[in-house]
Structure 1
């Protein structure tokens, strides 16, 4: 997508059995206030549902929040599902409690950025605008 930064669309999702949603709601509000068109899918989404929503909503970014430790199984499966649907152009960012070694592995797999708890909202906005 070649939308101007302030017209970018981002889908935020909670994949799997992670019911912690306070952080993703704060990020959603921050991105919205920065001018992004934010779509929040809600809790307990399947990978297939998130990929379908990303396609339906024609998003530029997909942000996934995972706080239950399942990031090394869920995120690779999500990236593969995006590839299978020819949606690799969507930038994927991941938030949550992700050890640095796992962050590096996720970046190698195709994740564009990882953000942990306490990341300043302007840093996430700037990253998605670059």
Structure 2
């Protein structure tokens, strides 16, 4: 059974071309991908992650609220008893914010311009690690 990955667009950001490209690349690499669509609340993302039993939640954020939204999603996953779900973040992310995102709970960060093959390989490895006992 392929690993399940949720690609989510939290907040008010309405641009989803990058998220759709990432979702397709992950799907084409053999992962099962669930895409939330745009403008999802943190609570919706967590509920979908739980319902779909995903190993990885990928947040696509272009709005500049990436640190706050990542912290809120990781905290909400922990509160829901799903602290073992891996969170990754991609989008318009300044290099200076990468350590802040990792402190907020992101296992990996993919700024705009990250090669898709690198992103796919890292997400696949994180999903496999989450699935192993």
Following TM superposition, the consecutive aligned residue runs of length 4 or more in structure 1 with deviations greater than 4 angstroms are none
1:48 aligns with 2:43: yes
Question: Matches of 1:102 and 1:123 in 2, distance apart?
Answer: 20
Instruction: Look up the match of 2:68.
Output: 73
**Structure 2: unaligned runs, 5 residues or longer:** 126-133
Question: Matches of 2:114 and 2:97 in 1, distance apart?
Answer: 17
From 8, 12, 15, the equivalent of 1:17 is 12
Q: Render the CA deviation track for 1:69-97: whole Å, top value 9, x for unaligned.
A: 01122111111101101111111000011
Indicate the RMSD between aligned Cα atoms, in angstroms: 1.0
Instruction: Look up the match of 1:90.
Output: 85
TM-score, reference length from structure 1: 0.92
Q: Aligned pair count?
A: 125
- Structure 1 residue 32: deviation in Å? 0.4
SS at the partner of 2:11? coil
TM-score, reference length from structure 2: 0.90
Question: Matches of 1:85 and 1:101 in 2, distance apart?
Answer: 30
Q: Render the CA deviation track for 1:7-34: whole Å, top value 9, x for unaligned.
A: 1100001001000100000001100000
SS at the partner of 2:33? strand
**Structure 1: unaligned runs, 5 residues or longer:** none
Question: Matches of 2:114 and 2:34 in 1, distance apart?
Answer: 20
